[in-house]
Amino acid sequence: MSKKYFGTDGIRGEVGTYPITPDFVLKLGWAIGKVFAKKGGGTILIGKDTRISGYMFESSLEAGLTSAGMDINLLGPMPTPAVAYLTRTFQAQAGIVISASHNAFQDNGIKFFAGDGTKLDDDIEFAIEKEIENELTTVDSSEIGRASRIVDASGRYIEFCKSTIPSSLSLNGLSIVLDCANGATYHIAPSVFRELGAQVSTIGTDPDGLNINYECGSTYPQRLVEKVLEEKADLGIAFDGDGDRVIMVDHKGELVDGDELIYVIARYKLGNKSKAINTNGDQGIIGTVMSNLGLEIALQDLSIPFVRSKVGDRYVMAELLNKQWLFGGESSGHIICLDSTSTGDGIVSALQVLAAMQSFNESLHDLKEGMTKFPQTMINVSISNKDGLEGNKVIEAAISKAEKELGKTGRVLLRPSGTQPVVRVMVEGENDDQVRKLATEISEVVDAEMKQHVA
């Protein structure tokens, strides 16, 4: 059974377009409150990123939840992983984040954490959707929930981040440029790295409600590259708007994406056997079908198992729990370190990389050189629907031909988008020109076949 409102990470869309409207979010808050009231009540935390619509939806959720009899604690602007952490430490029933992650300010969304700081189970999401269909009724006036604000939330999370690395780690003498995407880490990340001794300069730390992710952050690293080179910094770190993703820039101005960061963390945590935290049998890394082939090969060289999941941190997490492994992530920079926290956390992941640099006494540039990225090209082919894609003999023949030409050191992936009317054609191999040519050829076949099917 499919869900009506919930996607892979909560509910998201354009502000003012159903269901991202004040009236729906009020009803959503009420439905959440009803579901958790049946579980015994308690407190629900609410955090948000810096987009201007967050104020509106925070008020809507507050009204809905309290009308259902739930108490709430407001955190204000706070990274998504901070809400997960604080939900656990305050022993709240659930945590709610008002954020559209790396999207522009025109979008917003609502995502959730269970009391243990992990994503909600499907059965709870189904229960919330079922409750939404009921008529909103307010509890008796004597049972209306109370709202309060946690004033030391930032300090608590800053101390937690610092606790995820060895106490002996000092960043004294290290110059770092931080890009906080004018998002939820703007008042958190600079304090974390400065308190650990780093010399920090920043961009993207002046949110105005409209500039979140705008030409800054992990999805637009050009400014960070320029700033690192201009200041001759040791490295740069970029987060997305809600702080659950991270990419980095080395001292030469070269981007270090999620796959390369996962490799560095894996080498530090699992490949360096004398320091490995392996307490649960053989540990490995969970990537996705989009993870670069170079990561898989580099991990093989370290004798570290590697398994691919579907795209999305929800699926990475599910596979980690299934295998009882601790580390995984995506090339976008969403990295999960379950030895430290319960969800993807950009600041915590960046700190693990810095700990690796100190442990090996190597620069970020030298550390990432242990992994050779394969050229990868992805082309989006517009489609009106997915009918005619699966089992299409012409498309399958084009893929088979490309795979034969690539040999064992390449691969082809066709993946319909879950959020857009497109099919993503990805080709990966050793030769950049060959990869581009094959991706173009397959895309043209897919385009022609899908148009013919519609006709």
Among candidates 331, 367, 110, which has minimal Cα distance to 218?
A: 331
Sign of the dihedral defined by the CA atoms of residues 440, 445, 446, 451, in that order: positive
Residue 419 C-alpha from the chain's centroid = 16
Question: Of the candidates 191, 145, 196, 188, which has an alpha carbon nearest to the alpha carbon of residue 355?
Answer: 196
Query: Which is catalytic among the residues 60, 99, 101, 331?
Result: 101
Buried b / exposed e along 130-140 (16+ C-beta atoms within 10 A): ebbeeebeebe
Q: Contact 117/25 with Cβ under 8 angstroms?
A: no
Provide the β-strand partners of residue 256. 248
Q: Residues with Cβ < 8 Å from 154, sequence gap 6 or more?
A: 78, 187, 188, 191
Active site residue 101: yes
CB atoms within 10 A of CB 175: 17
- Which residue numbers are catalytic? 101
